[in-house]
């Protein structure tokens, strides 16, 4: 499985991509893509012949963005959904890394004050 944005291959210039091609281009397995289709209203694939899914270039980019929010930035699905729906407005959701950093600073503060009276 691909581990970082740098590992992702370039997106070929073609009109439609199958779900397996999108999986290879984004590092996301097809069953996860099908789940994300239910969770992210922005992700709208085209269904053709025999109910097969086809994605366009902008949807491949969107899948990469969702993947980065969830896997790299530590957002929950709800947080990633909010981030994608914001359009840059409002308060941004808190990432798991930010929560952890805040908790670690609280622990340091507690540890520094416990032995002192």
Q: What is the CATH number of the domain that holds 76?
A: 1.10.1660.10
**Greater pLDDT, 63 or 115:** 63
Asked whether residue 59 is assigned to any structural domain, the reply reads: yes
Asked whether residue 11 is assigned to any structural domain, the reply reads: no
Overall average pLDDT of the 4-17 stretch: 81
Overall average pLDDT of the 39-63 stretch: 86
Residue 105: domain span: 16-112
Number of domains into which the chain is organized: 1
Asked whether residue 117 is assigned to any structural domain, the reply reads: no
> How confident is the model at residue 88, as a pLDDT?
47
> How confident is the model at residue 29, as a pLDDT?
95
Asked whether residue 47 is assigned to any structural domain, the reply reads: yes
Reduce the secondary structure of 44-86 to three states and give it as a string.
CCEEEHHHEEEECHHHHHHHHHHHHHHHHCCCCHHHHHHHHHH
Asked whether residue 88 is assigned to any structural domain, the reply reads: yes
pLDDT at 36 over 50: yes
Least confident of 7-11, 58-62, 108-112: 108-112
């Amino acid at each position: 499985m691909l581990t970082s944005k740098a590992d992702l291959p370039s997106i070929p210039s073609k009109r439609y991509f199958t779900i397996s091609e999108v999986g290879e281009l984004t590092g996301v397995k097809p069953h996860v893509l099908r789940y994300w289709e239910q969770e992210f209203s922005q992700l709208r694939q085209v269904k053709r012949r025999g109910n097969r899914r086809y994605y366009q270039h902008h949807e491949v980019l969107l899948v990469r963005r969702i993947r980065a929010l969830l896997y790299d930035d530590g957002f929950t699905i709800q947080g990633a959904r909010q981030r994608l729906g914001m359009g840059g407005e409002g308060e941004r959701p808190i990432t798991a890394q930010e929560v952890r950093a805040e908790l670690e600073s609280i622990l340091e503060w507690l540890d520094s004050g416990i032995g002192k009276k």
